[in-house]
Amino acid sequence: MRYQFMTAALAVTTALSFAGPAAATDLEVTHWWTSGGEAAAVAEFAKAFDATGNHWVDGAIAGSGGTARPIMISRITGGDPMGATQFNHGRQAEELVQAGLMRDLTDLATRDRWAEIVQPKSLLDGCTLDGKIYCVPVNIHSWQWLWLSNAAFEKAGVPVPKNWNEYVAAAPALEKAGIIPLALGGQPWQSSGAFDVLLTAVGGTDAFLKVYRDKDADFAAGPEVAKVFKAADDARKMAKNTNVQDWNQATNLVISGNAGGQIMGDWAQGEFQVAGQTAGKDYTCLPGLGLNEVIATGGDAFYFPLLQDAEKSKAQEALAETLLDPNTQVAFNLKKGSLPVRGDIDLKAANDCMKKGLDILAKGSVMPWTDQLLSQDTQKQKEDLFSEFFAKPDMTVEEAQKRFADIVASAD
C-alpha cells in the first residue's frame, strides 16, 4: 500500500515539476501515525502538500509516540534534522525550542492570522514559548472517551451503559458472557492515560487541574483522589484479562465484540471507521465517561527544525500553510477521527461521536491536558506507576496513591 501511494505521490510531483518552473523540494516529515486510520489520515496531508509543488517524504516511525519521539529528538539534537516533525504540542519539544533548534514561525503566523483562525485559543498557547510561535497545531485529540461495543452488551443481555458507574455495574454480566469488560493494552502510556481520564471524570476538572497544574501533593494524597483510585481499582479488575499490547489491538477487541469497552482517546474512532462500523449503531462513545463532558485540548502539532537550506525552509512554510488549509483540515480530521483546529470550517460529514465532540468544543468546555502541564520526566514516572498498578492485582490502592502523591510532589 505504502509503495503504491509513494509511487503515486512521486508521479504527481514529477508531473507538477514539469508543469511549473518551481522545482519540487523534498521535505521529510516524521510522525508516528501508522495504524490503519492514522495512515489514511496522514496520506491526506501528503496529497495536499504534493499538490503545492513540493514533495512529502514520508518518515513514519512505527511503535507510537514513545518509540518515535526519542528517534526524532536524537536526529534533531544530533544535527540531522528532518524537514518537519510531529509532536504533541505542549512540553515535549520545550527544550528543543529553548536550545534554538526549532524554527520560529511567528512571522508566518502573523501573516496568516493564526491567532484568529485557530480555535480554541489554548491550542496556540501550547505552541507558544516566550511570545513566539513554534508549531502548527493540526488537530484536537482528547483522551476522555469511553468506547463501548453495542454487540458485546447485547450478548451479555444488559443495556449499553450511559456512564462509567453503569458500566462498572454491568461488568459482572459481561464477564459471565465470556467478554473482557474493559480492554486495556499493556503499553504504559495507556494505563497512565486511562487514570487521567478517570481523574477528570470521577474527580472533576478542578481535581485534575489541582493535581497536575498546581502540583498539590496534599490534595493528591487526599480523599477526593482516593475516590479516583477506587475507580482505577475497578478498572484494573475489569481489564485483568486483556493480553494485548498496542492500543489498536485493544480497540480491535471492542470492534470484534470480545471486549465491552475501552477508555481511549478519540483517535480510536479512526479504527472503528476503518472497520466499517457506525457510531451509535455498532458502537457507542461516551465523552468524559458520561460523567464530566469536557474536551482536553491536547493534540498533534508539527514543529519545524531550523534548517540552513533556503529551498527547504520555503517548503516548510508551504507545509505549514497546507496543514492549516480548511480543505486539508476537513479531509485529515475526518479520517483521523479528531477535531479540526479551525472553528470556521464545515464538518457536515462528521459522524455522531465527532459531533458530540464538536458540541462540547462549541460550548467551550475545554481543559488543558497532561502534555501541556507536565514534563516528560514526570509523565514517565506516572506511566511506570500506573503500568505497575494495572498489571499487579496485589498492589494496594493506598500504596499506589501514596506513590502518586510523591510523584506529584516532585513534579515539574
Q: Interface residues with other proteins (CB under 8 A)?
A: 66, 69-70, 73-74, 77, 92, 94-96, 99, 186-188, 243, 245, 375-377, 379-381, 384, 387-392, 403, 410
Contact by Cβ (8 Å): 94, 126: no
Least spacing, CB of residue 289 vs other proteins, in Å: 23
Give the residue with the Cβ less far from other proteins, 284 or 401.
401
Contact by Cβ (8 Å): 332, 347: no
Rounded Cα–Cα distance for residues 331 and 55 (Å): 19
Give the residue with the Cβ less far from other proteins, 63 or 326.
63
Quick one: which of 167, 199, 169 has its CA closest to 183? 167
Give the residue with the Cβ less far from other proteins, 49 or 390.
390
Give the residue with the Cβ less far from other proteins, 26 or 399.
399
Least spacing, CB of residue 167 vs other proteins, in Å: 23
Give the residue with the Cβ less far from other proteins, 31 or 236.
236
Task: Show the CA angle centred on residue 382, arms to residues 381 and 385, nearest 5°.
Answer: 90
Rounded Cα–Cα distance for residues 270 and 254 (Å): 13
Rounded Cα–Cα distance for residues 184 and 366 (Å): 25
Least spacing, CB of residue 180 vs other proteins, in Å: 13
Quick one: which of 292, 285, 296 has its CA closest to 361? 296
Quick one: which of 126, 54, 55 has its CA closest to 89? 126
SS3 121: coil
Least spacing, CB of residue 387 vs other proteins, in Å: 5
Rounded Cα–Cα distance for residues 373 and 212 (Å): 6
Least spacing, CB of residue 303 vs other proteins, in Å: 14
Least spacing, CB of residue 188 vs other proteins, in Å: 8
Rounded Cα–Cα distance for residues 315 and 36 (Å): 27
Give the residue with the Cβ less far from other proteins, 26 or 398.
398
